[in-house]
Amino acid sequence: MATDPDIVVIGGGNAALCAAITAAEAGAKVVILEAAPKAYRGGNSRHTRNFRCMHSGPLGPLVESYGEDEYFDDLMKVTGGKTDEDLARLAIRSSEECLPWMESHGVRFQPSLSGTLSLARTNAFFLGGGKSLVNAYYRTAKKLGVVVHYDAKVTHVALDGDRVCRVDYSTGDTQHSLSPQSVIVASGGFQADTDWLARAWGPAARNFLIRGTPYNRGVVLADLLDQGVQQVGDPTQCHAVAIDGRAPKFDGGIVTRLDCVPFSIVVNRDAERFYDEGEDVWPKRYAIWGRLVAAQPDQVGHVIIDAKSLNLFMPSVFPPIKADTLEELAEKMGLPPARLRATVKEFNRACGDTSGFHPTELDGVATSGLTPPKTNWARPITQAPFYGYSLRTGVTFTYLGLKVDRNAQCSIGDRPISNLWAAGETMAGSILGQGYLAGFGMTIGTVFGRIAGKEAAAHANAH
Amino acid sequence: MQMHIDFIAEARRQSEICNACRYCEGYCSVFPALHRERAFSDGDITQLANLCHNCRGCYYACQYTAPHEFDLNLPQALANVRQDSWKAHAWPARFAHVFDRNGVAMTGLLVLGFGLIFALAQGMRPASGEGFYAYLSHGLMVAIFSPAFLLPLLTIAISLRGYWTTVGGGRLRWTDLRGAFALAGQMKNLKGGHGDGCNFEDEDRFSHARRHFHQAVLYGFLMCFAATSSGTVLHYVFGLEAPYSFVSIPKLLGVPGGILLCIGTAGLAWLKTKADPELGASGAWGGEMAFVLLLFSVSATGLALYAATGSGAVSWLLPLHLATVLTFFLLTPYSKMAHGFYRLAALTRENAKQRGDA
Ligand SMILES: Cc1cc2nc3c(=O)[nH]c(=O)nc-3n(C[C@H](O)[C@H](O)[C@H](O)COP(=O)(O)OP(=O)(O)OC[C@H]3O[C@@H](n4cnc5c(N)ncnc54)[C@H](O)[C@@H]3O)c2cc1C
Ligand code: SF4
Ligand code: SF4
């Protein structure tokens, strides 16, 4: 076809845009196929707020320094060692040059947001958040002549031996095909396909909420894996956090986050506690609560706090449910009132001296003789009005992905596929086997997006 | 003072979402002020609304704009409250509705003003006098324009006092006022948090066009104002009467000031035709446009009048120019012009809050 571009990029988020821009700057004719309409372009990237960046001295909005080894250690801690050291170090080392690259392609940064000071050294925050980053990249890409098709859902990437020969996609009811020299897959994970999640997780997954885009349904990922492209990551694993149970099914994003768990007791449908709410500071425990709630009946949890704790955490998007008595609160939240009263009473009785209470530090204010215990911030729940939030499991992303090498290239059997690269969430499993480090998703997308763009352009230019 | 409950409630709903998000913190002074609070009183919302200058950065950056169910459009929500707060504080209250009908009010005043001044110039043409004063005596001009200038200032002052109470302002401090003037003078906020300007005329593209045109309007206006003031000083203190030569203070200030004002207002009007009206106050577009065009007419007729010095055209250009100036003065408390005063008050209040004055 005369109109075939040199490169097709599948996806329209951070990784796709970094790849497209890099390839276009290398002189390639690039087409982006984005499944979402323009208003929802940018996948999960539109919900992000920062990326994690190594730096040897103050850099842009980042203070002090954050070296390769410290960064790598932080990663090892959260992944429990399930990390590909070579690729992880490549991502970490390259992150430093990403920041100026991002700035020169339109991204603007701001100092660490109020309430997130602990990240001021490690994470660079995007001014306006991920959607403004995505907007800036679309502007830059357009100037470079990149063509973007919205509402363009890729349905099939046809392999011919060790080569992609065709990309099929649909817009509405119309089918299209392109036969470019190089193809870059940057279409995220599969978490928006609830059926797939339910197959991997069990039926409980149908009650999960998806924090990001409804367009990451893993269509291209499944298509490539079916054809034997090398996979990586545990298909049953996903990154999930506990979010406000009233959040929309998709795209609720950051504002559905709840930070009140450490100052609360959390009970299940039967008004029973099930885990130590005060195990560690919230940022470190944020991620495990997704799984904890997923394991409870109906996959719900209920946070109960009293008046004295209301202003200790960041406000969230929905106001708490409020009542003058615990029974009334239970009524409003659909919990058995007598049981809730008993659980609170038992908890209150186990609380001891609270004079050392300190909301932002592990204060050791713990319960005694209670199972499960609450090991920090344990203050009796006594002061009306009482407040409640419901919790559900919110899925951020899935780990199953395409295995890539240092050049972001995919392979089939033990041979590389000569013209297929992958970047971002869809290959992140190549680096992280489990766990997650805040801001690392955007780092992976930026680093490997740029690598994929460069390699794909070099391949296309050579043909 | 009664403000529109729906507008406040909607702005509050959106502010609470922003407070849980905070991604836009660095764009302008609205967000740091917003993030200081946990619950928003009507006065808080009114103050936030007057801190916003509708740069739209936070709209295009927002992941929750329609069709998302959270339906964020903070620039519009705040613009509605802002516009409504000017109406609610307008004094005398019965003129508040003029805000909604600026175009009509303006046409009416222009026609009336022109008729009046033309008739005066024809009927009471002085026996002697040079330049303009050959058409309209100095005494008569002063008799018309002193009250037309001072009364609106008085009503604005009363309105601002009401605003100050609404937003819970305490003792006015000199340092806060100075800080507010410094911010407004540089139009720092119009640069956007990153110095790339506003998102206005072309969706999410950042540009300085709005800031530069607005600067031209502000400084053009101030120069014209200074020209008139210096004329008054020359007249009363030094006994030097108009017309002034080109190399005189009034003309050296007035001519470039008029040109700046012309360029600035034309530019703002043009940008307004490009920008999405859905991100501004509902129903205020026409009135704002009429006001920009009025300000354009003030400067354009002023320059034309100067160019026509000595010719017969002065006989109708002079009443026309004076009628635009008269209309402009009289509408100041009930038109977009009020925004400058409210914005200064809001910045002053914000400075006090930043110092920790509750
Ligand atoms: C609420 C939330 C907050 C987050 N905050 C952060 C943060 O602050 N920092 C951080 O580093 N990470 C964060 N993450 C993780 C981060 O979003 C991802 O790591 C990152 O955005 C992945 O980028 P990507 O380009 O690979 O995928 P995405 O940005 O998700 O892009 C995938 C794209 O592929 C498109 N697509 C999907 N299927 C098809 C198809 N069949 N055909 C065509 N196109 C298709 C989608 O429409 C989308 O445009 C957050 C995630 C969520 C959900
Ligand atoms: S406008 Fe949108 S992105 Fe900005 S702070 Fe508010 S909710 Fe967040
Ligand atoms: S429109 Fe501009 S000034 Fe107004 S709140 Fe949004 S970013 Fe701030």
Q: For residue B37, give the amino acid letter.
A: E
pLDDT for position B117? 87
Domain boundary among A371, A394, A417: A394
Whether residue B202 lies within 8 A of chain A, CB to CB, comes out as no
A74 has pLDDT over 90: yes
Are the Cβ atoms of A39 and B63 closer than 8 angstroms? no
- Taking the whole predicted model, whether its pTM rises above 0.90 is answered as yes
Among left, alpha and beta (phi > 0; psi -120 to 50; other), residue A386 is beta
Q: B25, A114: Cβ pair inside 8 Å?
A: yes
Contact list in B for residue A315 (CB cut-off 8 A) is 16, 19-20, 38
Same domain, yes or no: A105 and A173: yes
Atom 6 of ligand 2, residue of closest alpha carbon: B18
Q: Does residue A316 have a pLDDT over 60?
A: yes
The reply to whether A292 and A366 lie within a common domain is yes
Residue B176 and residue B165: Cα distance in Å, rounded? 16
> How many angstroms does the Cα of residue A43 sit away from the middle of ligand 1?
4
Q: Last residue of some domain: A394, A425, A444?
A: A394
The CB of B34 under 6 Å from ligand 2? The reply is no
Same domain, B185 and B158: yes
The sign of the dihedral angle between the CA atoms of B174, B176, B182, B184 is negative
Nearest atom in ligand 3 to B53's CA: 3
Same domain, B216 and B317: yes
**Span from the CA of A18 to the centroid of ligand 3 (angstroms):** 28
pLDDT range class, residue B357, cuts 50, 70, 90: low
Same-domain pairing of A257 and A354: yes
Is position A2 within any domain? no
Residue B211 CB coordination number (10 Å):
21
Residue B1 has pLDDT above 70, yes or no: no
Q: Write out pLDDT tens, residues A107-159.
A: 999 988 887 778 999 999 999 999 999 999 999 999 999 999 999 999 999 99
**Do residues B144 and B239 both lie within one domain?**
yes
Asked if residue B121 and residue B74 are part of one domain, the reply reads no
Q: Each residue of A383-422: pLDDT tens digit? A: 999 999 999 999 999 999 999 999 999 999 989 999 999 9
Is A158 at the interface with chain B, CB within 8 A?
no
Q: Are residues B59 and B164 in the same domain?
A: no
Instruction: Based on the fold, state whether residues B61 and B181 are members of the same structural domain.
Output: no
- Ligand 3: which atom is nearest the Cα of residue B28? 8
Number of H helices, E strands in chain A: 11, 20
Ligand nearest to the CA of B53: 3
Asked if B129 and B137 touch (Cβ cutoff 8 Å), the reply is: yes
Report the distance separating Cα B180 and Cα B168, nearest Å: 17
Rounded distance between C-alpha atoms, residue B284 and residue B280, angstroms? 8
The predicted structure's pLDDT at residue A428: 96
Residues A292 and A192 in one domain: no
Token pair in block for residue A60: 């842009």
Question: Chain B 243-302, CB below 8 Å of chain A: which residues?
Answer: none
d(CA A103, CA A61): 11
How confident is the model at residue A433, as a pLDDT?
Answer: 86
Q: From the CB of residue B328, how many other CB atoms can be counted at a distance below 10 Å?
A: 23
Q: Within a domain: residue A51?
A: yes
Mean of all residue pLDDT scores within chain B: 91
Average pLDDT over residues A424-432: 96
How far does the CA of residue A276 sit from the closest CA of chain B (Å)? 25
Ligand 2 centroid–CA A354 distance in Å is: 37
* CATH number of the CATH domain containing B145: 1.20.950
Residue ending a domain, among B85, B106, B131, is B85
CA of B355 from ligand 2 middle (Å) equals 26
Pair A47, A164 in one domain? yes
Q: How confident is the model at residue B3 (pLDDT cuts 50, 70, 90)?
A: confident
Which residues, 6 or more positions from A255, have their beta carbon under 8 angstroms from its beta carbon? A316, A317, B17, B20, B21, B64, B70
Q: Are strands A123-126 and A109-110 parallel, antiparallel or unpaired?
A: antiparallel
Last residue of a domain, one of B56, B85, B114: B85
Ligand 1 lined by A215 (C-beta under 6 Å):
yes
Residues B209 and B239 occupy one common structural domain:
yes
User: What span, in angstroms and rounded, lies between the C-alpha atoms of A395 and A404?
Assistant: 24
Whether residue A110 contacts residue A127, with contact meaning beta carbons closer than 8 Å, is answered with yes
* Residues B163 and B342 sit within 8 Å (Cβ to Cβ): yes
Query: Is the shortest distance between the CB of B343 and ligand 3 below 6 Å?
Result: no
**Cα four-point dihedral sign B42, B48, B50, B54:** negative
pLDDT per residue over A14-63, tens digit each?
999 999 999 999 999 999 999 999 999 999 999 999 999 999 999 999 99
**A304 in the same domain as A221:** no
Domain shared by A70 and A152, yes or no: yes
The closest CB to that of B22, out of A40, A108, A114, belongs to A114
**Residue B115 pLDDT:** 87
| pLDDT tens digits along B198-230 | 998 899 999 999 999 999 999 999 999 999 888
Predicted local confidence at residue B240, as pLDDT: 84
Given ligand 1 and candidates A187, A400, A444, which is best to mutate, with the most ligand atoms within 8 Å of its CB? A187
| Closest ligand to Cα A32 | 1
| One-letter amino acid for residue A183 of the chain | V
Judge if B52 and B157 occupy the same domain: no
Could you tell me if B184 and B212 lie in one domain? yes
On whether both B42 and B128 belong to a single domain, the answer is no
Boundary (domain end) residue, out of B64, B85, B106: B85
User: Both A260 and A294 in a single domain?
Assistant: yes
Do A409 and A306 fall within a single domain? no
- B74 and B102: one domain? no
Which tops the pLDDT comparison, B358 or B356? B356
Which CATH number do you get for residue A332? 3.90.700.10
Residue in A108, A135, A251 nearest the CB of B68: A251
Asked if residue B328 has pLDDT above 80, the reply is yes
Residue with the bigger pLDDT between A306 and B99: it is A306
Nearest ligand to the CA atom of A168 = 1
Domain range enclosing B25: 2-85
Model confidence band, residue B358 (pLDDT cutoffs 50, 70, 90): low
- Ligand 1 pocket, residue A252 CB under 6 Å: no
Do A111 and A231 belong together in one domain? yes
Please tell me whether residues B210 and B298 are part of one structural domain. Answer: yes
Measure B214 CA to nearest chain A CA, in Å: 24
Does residue A326 line the site of ligand 1, with CB under 6 A? no
Residues 6+ apart with CB under 8 A from B125: B134, B135, B136
Residue A1 in domain: no
Residue A1 has pLDDT above 50, yes or no: no
d(CA B267, CA B290): 14
What is the position in ligand 2's atom list of the atom closest to the CA of B21?
A: 8
A444-457: pLDDT as tens digits? 999 999 999 999 99
Distance (Å, whole) CA A51 – CA A98:
10
Same domain, A41 and A152: yes
Interchain CB distance below 8 Å, A254 and B24: no
The mean pLDDT of B65-71, rounded to a whole number, is 97
Cβ–Cβ under 8 Å, residues A8 and A178: yes
User: Which tens digit of pLDDT belongs to each residue from A208-265?
Assistant: 999 999 999 999 999 999 999 999 998 888 899 999 999 999 999 999 999 999 999 9
**Tokens 């960041």 — which residue?**
A314
**Structural domain count, chain A:** 2
Spatial separation of the C-alpha atoms in residues B193 and B206, rounded to whole Å: 11
Residue A324 CB neighbours (<10 A)? 10
User: Measured between CB atoms, does A127 come within 8 Å of chain B?
Assistant: yes
Q: Which residues of A touch B68 (CB under 8 A)?
A: 251
In ligand 3, the atom with minimum distance to the C-alpha of B51 is 3
- Least confident range from A69-73, A161-165, B132-136, B185-189: namely B185-189
- Whether the predicted pLDDT of B51 surpasses 70: yes
Return the pLDDT at A84.
94
Q: Indicate which CATH number applies to the domain containing A155.
A: 3.50.50.60
Return the number of CB contacts < 8 Å for A and B. Answer: 89
pLDDT tens digit sequence for B221-272: 999 999 988 888 888 888 888 778 888 888 999 999 999 999 999 999 999 9
Gap from CA of A128 to ligand 2 centroid (Å) = 7
In a domain, A329, yes or no: yes
Task: Supply the range of the domain harboring residue A64.
Answer: 7-235+399-462
Q: Do B63 and A128 touch (CB under 8 A)?
A: no
A361 and A250 in a common domain: yes
Residue A451: per-residue pLDDT:
98
Ligand in closest contact with the CA of A137: 1
Domain-terminating residue out of A394, A414, A439:
A394
Number of domains in chain B: 2
